[in-house]
Amino acid sequence: MSINDQENNAKDLELENQERRKFFGKTALVGAGVVAAPMTAAMFASTAQANAKEYANTPTVHPGELDEYYGFWSGGQSGEVRIVGIPSMRELMRIPVFNYDSATGWGATNESKAIKGDSAHFLNGDLHHPHMSMTDGRYNGKYLFVNDKANTRVARIRCDIMKTDKILSIPNVQAIHGLRVQKVPYTKYFFCNSEFEIPMNNDGKSSLNDVDSYRSLFTVIDAEKMEIAFQVMVDGNLDNTDADYGGKYFASTCYNSEHGTNLSEMIAAERDHVVVFNLARCEAAVKAGKFKNYNGNNVPVLDGRKGSALTRYIPVPKSPHGINTAPSGKYFVANGKLSPTVSIISIEKLDDLFNDKIKPRDTVVAEPEVGLGPLHTAFDNKGNAYTTLFLDSQIAKWNVEDAIKAHNDESINYIRQKMDVNFQPGHNHTTMGETRDADGKWLVALCKFSKDRFLPVGPLHPENDQLIDISGDEMKLVHDGPAFAEPHDCMMVHRSKIKTKKIWDRNDPFFAGTVARAKKDGINLMTDNKVIRDGKKVRVYMTSIAPTYGMNQFDVNLGDEVTVTITNLDTIEDVTHGFCMTNHGVQMEISPQETSSVTFVADKPGVQWFYCNWFCHALHMEMRGRMLVHA
Ligand code: CUK
Ligand code: CUA
């Protein structure tokens, strides 16, 4: 090799390293004081101090050890929720919600179809926002509420069994996006935004192009009944939302106050707004009958457009995205997206705003610059905020009170650190950070791009969920976690708040409908193995106990509609059975003490084997039987 070649080689290597560094970001260099954003002398000093500090947190969870937190991850266009252990980032379970799930039979079983209700025919969803019910601003471990942007629905998940127990289609609107819960005094309501504006009576009869008449509604839902309490018509569209800690106000961002129908129209105005909803006034208006109905349903729709007593519109810079309530209860933080700022709205000033003592902009106590593309903000227990910067691919850590002081005193530096993440973060979330119990331990950045962080798996890349230790003065990246499409949001709750059942309770409402049907058929599900013929309908009831079904053959006629109902008599934790009828596209989960049922047409003559497809016993392979189909 000539000297020239060697030099060229060295240059190539150097170039390659630089390229990789660009990809990897500058995380590793932060400690050396090299970051993309300009640093002040004060920041250098605090970084140096931080380097000397030990980190209390360890991300290592050894085999056999349990995680400290449950993370509930949105599955985005997968339509499901995933349970992730924090800090291990191990995926513990998936909860099918709006999707069809081959393993559990969600979307196929009669029990899940009953829960899906009028939208059971939809097999997809776009689930962005999982949020847990609260009591007095603290997680109570009861429910998770989630949205479906794709098919305009919301759903509730029971945290004692980690199954979806109710799905509700929202009328009068399109595309449910932002969703949060009432924090105080308890989650009586959860509420959600419709993102896309449509005509109020969307019957195709009025002018479809009268864009000015399109509206977007804020929907408030009774959390226990899973019924819509009321909707509020607004100006502009709605994006994300959050509640205060006083039980009085909900606030939503709006990014299309222009009522545009294409990109350039939607970003024309220099300012959009945050809409604040006054809960007591809305409830009073419903009581007083000051609402209208639309589209032939009886959901009360209040008029909360500009000038209404029910709402206030706070102008903020162009196209805000996330809105997050600080755990101090003092501020809503609206994230600028197209503006490098976040708008800090004083919740204490909202009473005066609603009593017309001050102007809407008077509630904005600071608008600090945090970086390019702020989307969402999370909080610790030390007064710091963590904002995702989509365009900068960074998390900006900043101090809320310092940012407010800096509003009048430019010498105050409120930025504590900017850390590169990989890459293009959407939401970020801190442990317990949307409650009074914010504990400042872990931050998760949900990155939209993973580029070269993982082994390549084809043109479709995984997302990258990054775990960041925030317990010290400096944020520290500790884990990259690839995730399938596409976590938007998550919430992390201490394990002490969650109590799950280990086996099913026989009286669980989850399968109560099936139990009632069996009773009508004179069946004791715990003992009976019987076939009931009802014309062309055949109902097969059987038990299962490892490694056998209570019945290993039954007879039907070609073309019969067959309903197989199985009760798992096993009482040992983890002994789940399955039922799969080969060549019929049918299968389901039956966990200990559960009853599950599925209905299909026996459309193939001859011998059709069914088998248990959840490995349950040494003789699991032998756990099968025959459906004899007479032609
Ligand atoms: S949204 Cu996706 S990154 Cu649907 Cu909460 Cu902001
Ligand atoms: Cu029962 Cu496998």
The C-alpha angle 224, 228, 230, rounded to 5 degrees, equals 125
Query: Which residue's CA is the nearest one to ligand 1's atom 3?
Result: 426
Tokens of residue 549, six digits: 């079904």
Which among 478, 457, 480 is positioned nearest to 469, based on CA atoms?
A: 478
Query: Which residue's CA is the nearest one to ligand 1's atom 2?
Result: 488
Residue with tokens 């519109």: 313
Query: Which residue's CA is the nearest one to ligand 1's atom 1?
Result: 488
Whose atoms come closest to the Cα of 335: which ligand?
1
Provide the mean pLDDT of the chain: 92
| Strand-by-strand arrangement of the 374-379 sheet | 374-379, 384-389, 394-399, 415-420
pLDDT bin (cut points 50, 70, 90) of residue 56 is low
CB 261 within 8 A of CB 238: no
Whose atoms come closest to the Cα of 547: which ligand?
2
Q: If you ran DSSP here, which 8-state letter would residue 243 be given? A: E
Whose atoms come closest to the Cα of 574: which ligand?
2
User: What are the pLDDT digits (tens) for 181-190?
Assistant: 999 999 999 9
Single pTM value for the model: 0.91
CA atoms within 13 Å, Cβ hemisphere of 624: 14
pLDDT bin (cut points 50, 70, 90) of residue 58 is confident
Query: Given this model, what pLDDT does residue 361 score?
Result: 98
Q: What is the torsional sign of CA 316, 243, 115, 615?
A: positive
User: What are the pLDDT digits (tens) for 410-438?
Assistant: 999 999 999 999 999 999 999 999 999 99
First vs last Cα of the chain: how many Å apart?
A: 80
Testing ligand 1's pocket by substitution, the residue of 146, 252, 427 carrying the most ligand atoms inside 8 A of its CB is 427
Q: What is the dihedral of CA 493, 496, 498, 502, to 10 degrees?
A: 140
Which among 523, 537, 496 is positioned nearest to 595, based on CA atoms?
A: 523
Q: Which helix (H) or strand (E) holds 346?
A: strand 342-346
User: What are the pLDDT digits (tens) for 118-155?
Assistant: 999 999 999 999 999 999 999 999 999 999 999 999 99
Query: Which residue's CA is the nearest one to ligand 1's atom 4?
Result: 128
**CB of 488 sitting under 6 A from ligand 1:** yes
d(CA 194, CA 395): 28
pLDDT bin (cut points 50, 70, 90) of residue 49 is very low
Contacts of 2 (CB under 8 A, 6+ apart): none
CB 416 within 8 A of CB 397: yes
d(CA 452, CA 423): 10
**CB of 375 sitting under 6 A from ligand 1:** yes
Q: Is the pLDDT of residue 99 over 60?
A: yes
d(CA 400, CA 438): 15
Q: Is the pLDDT of residue 7 over 90?
A: no
Backbone angles phi, psi at 114, to 5 degrees: -65, -40
Contacts of 253 (CB under 8 A, 6+ apart): 178, 238, 239, 240, 241, 272, 274, 316, 320, 321, 322, 323, 334, 335
User: What are the pLDDT digits (tens) for 371-395?
Assistant: 999 999 999 999 999 999 999 999 9
pLDDT bin (cut points 50, 70, 90) of residue 14 is very low
d(CA 316, CA 528): 65
pLDDT bin (cut points 50, 70, 90) of residue 19 is very low
Query: Mean pLDDT over residues 600-611, rounded?
Result: 98
Which among 132, 134, 133, 112 is positioned nearest to 123, based on CA atoms?
A: 112
d(CA 25, CA 379): 24
CB 419 within 8 A of CB 310: no
Q: Which helix (H) or strand (E) holds 463?
A: strand 463-469
**CB of 126 sitting under 6 A from ligand 1:** no
Testing ligand 1's pocket by substitution, the residue of 149, 375, 446 carrying the most ligand atoms inside 8 A of its CB is 375
Backbone angles phi, psi at 451, to 5 degrees: 40, -115
Whose atoms come closest to the Cα of 195: which ligand?
1
Q: Which amino acid, residue 482?
A: P
Ligand 2 atom at shortest distance from the alpha carbon of 544: 1
Question: Rounded to the nearest whole angstrom, what is the distance from the C-alpha of residue 566 to the centroid of ligand 2?
Answer: 12
Q: Ligand 2: residues within 6 Å at CB?
A: 546-547, 577, 612, 614-616, 620, 623
Question: Rounded to the nearest whole angstrom, what is the distance from the C-alpha of residue 594 to the centroid of ligand 2?
Answer: 14
Whose atoms come closest to the Cα of 592: which ligand?
2
Which among 605, 595, 598, 612 is positioned nearest to 627, based on CA atoms?
A: 605
Q: Is the pLDDT of residue 207 over 90?
A: no
Percentage of the chain modeled with pLDDT above 90: 88
d(CA 146, CA 164): 10
Question: Rounded to the nearest whole angstrom, what is the distance from the C-alpha of residue 517 to the centroid of ligand 1?
Answer: 42
Please give the C-alpha separations between residue 13 and each of 8, 18, 28, 348, in angstroms, as whole numbers: 9, 8, 19, 57
pLDDT bin (cut points 50, 70, 90) of residue 579 is very high
Pairing between β-strand 131-135 and β-strand 198-199 as defined by DSSP bridges: unpaired
Which among 188, 135, 134, 181 is positioned nearest to 154, based on CA atoms?
A: 181
Q: Which helix (H) or strand (E) holds 113?
A: helix 110-116
Query: Mean pLDDT over residues 502-518, rounded?
Result: 98
When mean pLDDT is compared across 211-215, 351-355, 524-528, the lowest value belongs to: 211-215
Q: Is the pLDDT of residue 32 over 70?
A: no
Testing ligand 1's pocket by substitution, the residue of 148, 321, 429 carrying the most ligand atoms inside 8 A of its CB is 321
Q: What is the torsional sign of CA 44, 45, 51, 57?
A: negative
Which among 433, 276, 423 is positioned nearest to 352, based on CA atoms?
A: 276
Query: Which residue's CA is the nearest one to ligand 2's atom 1?
Result: 577
d(CA 363, CA 344): 8
Query: Given this model, what pLDDT does residue 262 score?
Result: 92
User: What are the pLDDT digits (tens) for 332-371?
Assistant: 999 999 999 999 999 999 999 999 999 999 999 999 999 9
Q: Which helix (H) or strand (E) holds 84?
A: strand 80-86
